[in-house]
Structure 1
Amino acid sequence: MKKHRALVVDDEPDIRELLSITLERMNIDVVTAGDVATATRELRNGAFDLCFTDMRLPDGDGLNLVEWIQTHKPHIPVAVITAHGNVETAVRALKLGAFDFISKPLDLAVLRKLIAATLKLGDSSESTIQLPQVKLLGKSARMEQLRELIERVARSQAPVHIYGESGTGKELVAHLIHDASARRDGPFVPVNCGAIPTELMESELFGHKKGAFTGAIADKQGLIQSAEGGTLFLDEIADLPLHMQVKLLRVIQEKSVRPVGESREIPTDIRLLSATHKNLAALVAEGKFREDLFYRVNVIEVRVPPLRERLEDIQELVDSIIARLGKQIGNADLSVTDNAVKTLSGYHFPGNVRELENVLERAATLCSNGMIDVGDLQLRPKVAAADVPIQSSVAPGEKLGEALEDIERDAIVRALEQTRYNKTKAAALLGMTFRSLRYRIKKLGIE
C-alpha cells in the first residue's frame, strides 16, 4: 500500500510539530517548511499527497502558496490554517482553490477528519473522477460547461451555491457534486428550507435535548448532524428566516452546532451546498438576506441554465423521459412524432425540465396507439407571470363565503398549474408567503 506524504508550512515550530505528530500517527511521511520559499522548493523537487499552510509566513502570504499550487501542482489538495475567527481569509483561500481550512487553536479531532478527507480526495484524483450513473442529460455547450464545473468544485470542501430557475435540476446538480467528491461515502441530506415551519426550524436543523421545550420528550438529532461526514444541501436557502441565518452562519464559521437546550457546541464535519431560484444578491440589498452569510454560502456559484437556453438538448431529454414513461405504463413502443419534438423545441418552458416531464407524462396518457403527437402535448401559450386569470363573479343567490372560497380555490389551482405545482413560485405569483399558501391549500382541500 502506498505511503502518503504531506508538506506542512508554518513559521511556528509548535504548530509544525503538532501537525507532524498527528500526520505520522496516521502513517503519513511529513516534510516541513517555515516559509514560502522553502515550501515552493520542496514542492518543485518532491511528490506530495497533501499540503497544510499557514496564512502568515515570514516571506509572503499563504494565499500566494495556494495560488502557486493551483498553477503548478493542481493535483495536490491544500488546506489553510487561519487565525480563530478569521473566516474572510479562509473564504479567500477557498475561492483560490484551497480544499478546506482549519482554525487555530487546532482541534485534533477536526484535524484528523480533514486529513482523512484530503487523502481520500488525493486517492480519487489519481484517475479521472467520473460522475455517477445518475446523469445530467444534454450535449449542449452549456451542459458540457456545467459538467466540467461540477467536477472541479467536487474537489473542494468550499460551500457551493447553486442558482437556477425552478425545475432546472438544482438538487440533481448538488447530488452530483456530492457523489463526485471525497464525501461520496457519507450521507447526502437535502433540506427544503421553505417547507419547514418557522417555529420548528431550529429544532429540525440543530436538534434538541430532552426537556428543552414542551413536547421534547427525547433527544433528537438535527438534520445538520445527520449529514456528519457528508453533505448538507439547503434548498431554497433564501426562505431561511433572519434569526436562522445567524445560527447557520455560526455553524459555517465555527464548524460546530448547538442543539436546542444543549449547553455546549458539538463539532461537526459537513460540506454545505445551497440552492435557490431567487436572486440572493438582490435579497441582500433589500435586507432580507444577511450579507455575511451570502459571502459564506456563495464561495463558489454554479448556475444551472434554463431549458430555453439549451433547446438543442430537447431530443435527448425527450428520448430519456419517454423510455422511462414507457416502462412505467408497460408500453415499450411509446414514442413521439417528429412534429411533436419540433413543437417542443420551439416552446419557452417556463417550468424547465420538470415541465417537459409533466407535459410528456400527460401526453402519454392522452395519446392514441402509444404515439404522442402535437395535439397531445397541450402546451400553454406564453403568459406574463402576473397574468393569473381569476373568475371573480358571484352568481345570484349564491352564498358569499362559498363563492369567495371557489374564487380563491380557482386562483390557487391556476397558479399551481402555471408554475407546474412549485408552491414557492405559486406563492410569489399570488403575492402571499409560502406558509400562507400551504395553509390555504389545506383549508380548501386542494390536495
Structure 2
Amino acid sequence: MNTALLVLDDEPGRAEELCLLLRFLEEPQVVHAEFSNWQAHVEDNSDLRCIFLGSHGDSAQPPVDILYAIRALTPRIPIILIEKADEPLRLPATVEANCGGHLAHPFRHAPLSQILARSQASAQRNGRFGATPARRNIELFRSLTGHSTAILRVRELIQRASPSESTVMLLGESGTGKEVVARNIHYFSNRTQGPFVPVNCGAIPDNLLESELFGHEKGAFTGAISTRRGRFELARGGTLFLDEIGDMPLNMQVKLLRVLQERVFERVGSDRSLEADVRIVAATHRNLEEMIKTGDFREDLYYRLNVFPIEIPSLRERIEDLPKLVEELIERMAHEQGGVRIALTAAAVRSLSHYHWPGNVRELANLMERLAILKPNGQIDTGDLPVKFRAHAPLEPISVASVMAEVEDTTTIPTTRATASEPATLPPEGLDLREHIADLESSLIHSALEKADGVVAHAASLLKMRRTTLVEKMRKYNIRRGDDDLSD
C-alpha cells in the first residue's frame, strides 16, 4: 500500500500528533518520514494525495530546495506548510506560489478536514485515486451485506438512529461488526464531517484510561512530559466510539457518567472545564444487566448509555447472508491486494454454511484472506478449506457405483441388480422383487454399520435416514451389532 499522506517534519512530537489525527480522520495511508528519505515516498507514487512540510534541522522553515524538488516531481499534489500558531511563516512569494496552504500547530480539526477535502477533490479532478472512495466504502459497509431479516432490521435502526444526537448502545458477540455499525451511524449523521474516534476500553490499562479519554496536563503525573489531548477532545464535533464499555473499571464509570450528564470534563491535572461536544456510541459483547446484578457495572450509567440499543446478529443467526458476505469480502480483497481474486465452489460455500462461526464475520474475513494467500486467483473447493471447516460439511450424496462397490466388498448380492453404468436385467427364470430389494437393503445396512464401527447414529447418517428409521429396519431384518440397545 503506497503512501497517500506524507508528513516531513524534524519535530517528532508534532509529526506524531499530526499522523495520529490524520488516522483518526480515517486516513490509513499516513507516513512520517525524514527529509533525507522523501524521494522513496514521492517518486512513482500514484496514491500520493498531500504532503505536509514542517521544520528542517534548526530552522523553523522547510528546506526550499526540497520543496522545489517535490514540486517538480508532483506538480499537482498540494504541499501544506506546518507552522506555529503564534509564529506564522513568512516566505517569499515564489515559495508560497508552490504551496497549497498553511496548517497551524496546535492542530485544529476544522482546518485539517478542509485540507483533506481539498486534496481529495483535487485528486479526483486530476483523474487520480479513483479507487480511494470505493475502498473506503467497502471498509465502511462490510458485514452489513445481505438480505436476511436480521440485517435488514439493523440497517433500518441505523437509519433511524443516525440523524439524532441520542446515545446508541451496540450489543452483540465479538466479531459481528459493531464498529462497522458505529461508523455507519457516524457516516449518516449530522456529524459526518467531524472525526470518528474509536477507543477500546478493554485494551487500555486502568491507570491510563482516564488520561486516554480526557487528556492530561504537563506534569500531571510521572511521565506526563507534555500536555496531551484525550479522545473526547479529538472527537470534538464528531462521534466517540466506546468499544467494550463493559470492561471499563467502576471508578472510570463514575467519571464517564458525569461527562454524559453535564457534557463537560477536565484534563487530568487541570481544573479548567472543557465542553464534551461529541456523540457517544458504545458497544459491548457482555450482558450488562447481569453485570449490574453482580455489581460490576453501574445501573445509572447503563440507562444513560442504553438510550437506543441495537442488537447485532451473529453470523450463524443470518447464515443465509454468508454467500453475499463471501462475495463482498472477495471484492474487498481485490481492491486492497491489487486484483487478487479467489472463487469458491458451491460445495465450499455449503461447507462454510454448516460451520457455527464463533468468531462471526471477523473469522470469515480472516479465512478469506488466508485462502487468498494460499491460492491467489484460484478456485477454492471443499478440500482446500481448513479441517475445522470441512468437519461441518454435509455428507455428499452417495453414488450408485460407490454403494454397489462397498456392498460387493462385504456381502454377495445377486448379479442381476443395476450398476452405475448399465441397466438392470431380469434373469430368465424371474425373481422375487420384494425379496431382492430386502436383500439389497439388508446388505447396505450391514455395510453401513461396519463402516461406522457399529455406531447406529453414524450408520444412519451414511444412509441418509433418521436413527429411529434405521433402528426399525434393523429390527425388521433382525440385525444386531453386539450389545447395541435397539429398544428406543
Which TM bucket (shorter chain)? 0.5 to 0.7
Q: Check conservation: 1:132, 1:179, Cα contact below 8 A.
A: no
Q: Give me the whole-angstrom Cα distance separating, in 1, the residues matched to 2:258 and 2:182.
A: 22
3-state SS in 2 of match to 1:183: coil
Query: Do structure 1's residue 226 and structure 2's residue 234 form an aligned pair?
Result: yes
Q: What's the C-alpha RMSD, in Å, of the aligned pairs? A: 2.1
The 1:165–1:199 alpha-carbon spacing in structure 2 relative to 1, beyond 3 Å, is same
Residue pairs, 1:181-330, within 5 angstroms: 181-330=189-338
3-state SS in 2 of match to 1:311: helix
Q: Deviations over 1:232-276 (max 9, x none)?
A: 100001111100000000000000011111113222211111001
Aligned to 1:360: 368
Q: Give me the whole-angstrom Cα distance separating, in 2, the residues matched to 1:249 and 1:163.
A: 19
How far residue 364 of structure 1 moved from its aligned partner, in angstroms, is 2.6
Q: Give me the whole-angstrom Cα distance separating, in 2, the residues matched to 1:379 and 1:350.
A: 16
Q: Give me the whole-angstrom Cα distance separating, in 1, the residues matched to 2:336 and 2:251.
A: 45
How far residue 359 of structure 1 moved from its aligned partner, in angstroms, is 1.6
How far residue 132 of structure 1 moved from its aligned partner, in angstroms, is 6.6
Aligned to 2:359: 351
Q: Check conservation: 1:323, 1:332, Cα contact below 8 A.
A: no
Q: Give me the whole-angstrom Cα distance separating, in 1, the residues matched to 2:255 and 2:336.
A: 44
Aligned to 2:182: 174
- In structure 1, the gaps of 5 or more residues are 1-130, 384-447
How far residue 329 of structure 1 moved from its aligned partner, in angstroms, is 4.8
Aligned to 1:158: 166
Which residue among 339, 343, 350 is the counterpart of 1:342? 350
Q: Deviations over 1:31-86 (max 9, x none)?
A: xxxxxxxxxxxxxxxxxxxxxxxxxxxxxxxxxxxxxxxxxxxxxxxxxxxxxxxx
Q: Give me the whole-angstrom Cα distance separating, in 1, the residues matched to 2:161 and 2:387.
A: 37
Residue pairs, 1:369-408, within 5 angstroms: 370-380=378-388
- In structure 2, the gaps of 5 or more residues are 1-135, 392-488
3-state SS in 1 of match to 2:165: coil
Q: Check conservation: 2:342, 2:376, Cα contact below 8 A.
A: no
Q: Check conservation: 2:214, 2:229, Cα contact below 8 A.
A: yes
Q: Deviations over 1:274-320 (max 9, x none)?
A: 00111111111110011110110111100100000111111111111
How far residue 332 of structure 1 moved from its aligned partner, in angstroms, is 4.9
The 1:220–1:368 alpha-carbon spacing in structure 2 relative to 1, beyond 3 Å, is closer
How far residue 331 of structure 1 moved from its aligned partner, in angstroms, is 5.4
Q: Quick one: which amino acid aligns to residue 245 of structure 2?
A: I
3-state SS in 1 of match to 2:242: strand
Q: Give me the whole-angstrom Cα distance separating, in 1, the residues matched to 2:145 and 2:325.
A: 7
The 1:328–1:177 alpha-carbon spacing in structure 2 relative to 1, beyond 3 Å, is closer
Aligned to 1:102: none
3-state SS in 2 of match to 1:195: coil
Q: Give me the whole-angstrom Cα distance separating, in 2, the residues matched to 1:211 and 1:352.
A: 44
Q: Check conservation: 1:362, 1:377, Cα contact below 8 A.
A: no
Q: Check conservation: 1:194, 1:240, Cα contact below 8 A.
A: yes
Q: Quick one: which amino acid aligns to residue 157 of structure 1?
A: E
Larger Rg: 2
Q: Deviations over 1:347-368 (max 9, x none)?
A: 1111101111112222233348
Q: Check conservation: 2:383, 2:390, Cα contact below 8 A.
A: no
Q: Check conservation: 1:164, 1:276, Cα contact below 8 A.
A: yes
The 1:326–1:371 alpha-carbon spacing in structure 2 relative to 1, beyond 3 Å, is farther
TM-score (norm 2): 0.50
3-state SS in 2 of match to 1:190: strand
Q: Give me the whole-angstrom Cα distance separating, in 1, the residues matched to 2:210 and 2:350.
A: 49
Aligned length: 253
Q: Check conservation: 2:330, 2:341, Cα contact below 8 A.
A: no
